[in-house]
């Protein structure tokens, strides 16, 4: 039984543990879940992750209730079945996907999930950046495609996405996890150089009730103007959608001239706020992307955080990150509990060793 102490970590620890438990079929117990937070224990967002994986791998659980600071999770083999997951709040759909991606990519057959919640909310990667800067790396493991049905802003959420998985390797065919790891080792990758910037792409979005104010267009225009100094094509589309809550934001990401797969990707995003003009929102997004592009790393810190479990499974792999964050360090520690001491560090480079 793997024992994890959640005292120093947040929901990230739980999401990564659930993903790797479902994939490795190793049970775990987490104690002191978010015990130092103002609202300790499992929140609705975290409980949704637990119950989604419980359904998808017939897990036995104890402590899966709001406010619980201890959770027991004993998975069985992963099942591939179409399923709708409603977070019930504006909780982030992309944070939920951190617990679902890896096991779903090695499911017995293709299947589709519909997830309802927040698609563009604070403290999480928006669905646009997720689809364009994170999923391309996970496609090395198996087929996965997303479709945005409806946007969901804070506080009511109500956004909807569909994510379809087309697995290439069935984890359930292997009684020993080590045998599975050896089979997928050819999918490991190296991502340490950036190459020349070729273009900037993105999407500026807003709820349709504020379309008369041209919010989306103004965000996009100000970002494009601010990024013009990079001397590459900048293509930021504008859109409006019917939403439950008023909101807006902009997501942008880079394309590089690098003849490798996976290609380098760096992104940035800003949500609109009542205290900021649309022009300020676009300018802030451009400034953030420009700052991240100055780093030699071929990915940003949010992509790096999401790649830690992936390179622990697809190994040997090597990635260069902009800097170490608490989330990256926490993810590595949780992954080691399930995968063993597979990570090595050299300055800002993280490597995983080859399966024996």
**DSSP string covering 276-341, please?**
S-HHHHHHHHHHHHHHHHTSSSSB-HHHHHHHHHHHHHS-SEEEE-S---HHHHHHHHHHHHHH-S
Two structure tokens written together for 164: 């379809």
Two structure tokens written together for 299: 């990915």
How far is 87 from 43, CA to CA, in rounded Å?
11
Around 143, how many Cα atoms within 13 Å sit in the side-chain half-sphere?
Answer: 10
Q: At which residue do the structure tokens 């560090």 appear?
A: 345
How far is 232 from 284, CA to CA, in rounded Å?
19
**Using N-to-C axis directions, what is the helix angle for 301-313 and 93-105, rounded to 10°?**
20
Which residues are tagged catalytic? 327
How far is 43 from 74, CA to CA, in rounded Å?
20
């Amino acid at each position: 039984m793997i024992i994890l102490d959640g005292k120093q970590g947040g929901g990230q620890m739980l999401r990564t543990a659930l993903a790797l438990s479902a994939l490795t079929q190793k049970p775990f117990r987490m104690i002191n879940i978010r015990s130092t937070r103002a609202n300790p224990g499992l929140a609705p967002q975290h409980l949704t992750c637990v119950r989604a994986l419980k359904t998808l791998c017939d897990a036995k659980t104890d402590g899966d209730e709001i406010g619980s600071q201890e959770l027991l999770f004993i998975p069985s083999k992963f099942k591939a079945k179409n399923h709708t997951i409603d977070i019930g709040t504006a909780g982030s759909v992309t944070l939920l996907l951190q617990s679902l991606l890896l096991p779903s990519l090695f499911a017995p057959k293709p299947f589709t999930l519909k997830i309802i919640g927040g698609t563009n909310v604070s403290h999480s990667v928006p669905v646009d950046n997720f689809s364009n800067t994170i999923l391309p790396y996970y496609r090395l493991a198996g087929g996965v495609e997303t479709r945005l049905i409806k946007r969901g802003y804070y506080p009511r959420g109500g956004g909807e996405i569909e994510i379809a998985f087309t697995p290439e390797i069935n984890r359930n065919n292997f009684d020993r996890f080590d045998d599975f790891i050896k089979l997928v080792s050819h999918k490991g990758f190296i991502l340490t150089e950036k190459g020349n910037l070729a273009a900037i792409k993105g999407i500026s979005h807003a709820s349709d009730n504020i379309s008369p104010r041209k919010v989306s267009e103004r965000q996009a225009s100000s970002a494009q103007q601010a990024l013009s100094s990079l001397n590459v094509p900048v293509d930021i589309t504008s859109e409006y959608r019917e939403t439950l809550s008023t909101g807006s934001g902009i997501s942008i990401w880079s394309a590089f001239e690098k003849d490798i797969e996976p290609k380098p990707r760096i992104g940035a995003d800003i949500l609109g706020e009542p205290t900021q003009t649309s022009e300020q929102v676009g300018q802030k997004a451009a400034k953030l992307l420009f700052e991240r592009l100055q780093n030699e790393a071929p990915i940003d810190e949010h992509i790096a955080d999401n790649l830690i479990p992936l390179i622990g499974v697809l190994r040997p792999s090597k990635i260069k990150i902009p800097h170490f964050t608490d989330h990256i360090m926490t993810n590595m520690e949780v992954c080691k509990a399930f995968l063993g001491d597979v990570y090595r560090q050299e300055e800002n480079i993280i490597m995983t060793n080859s399966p024996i």
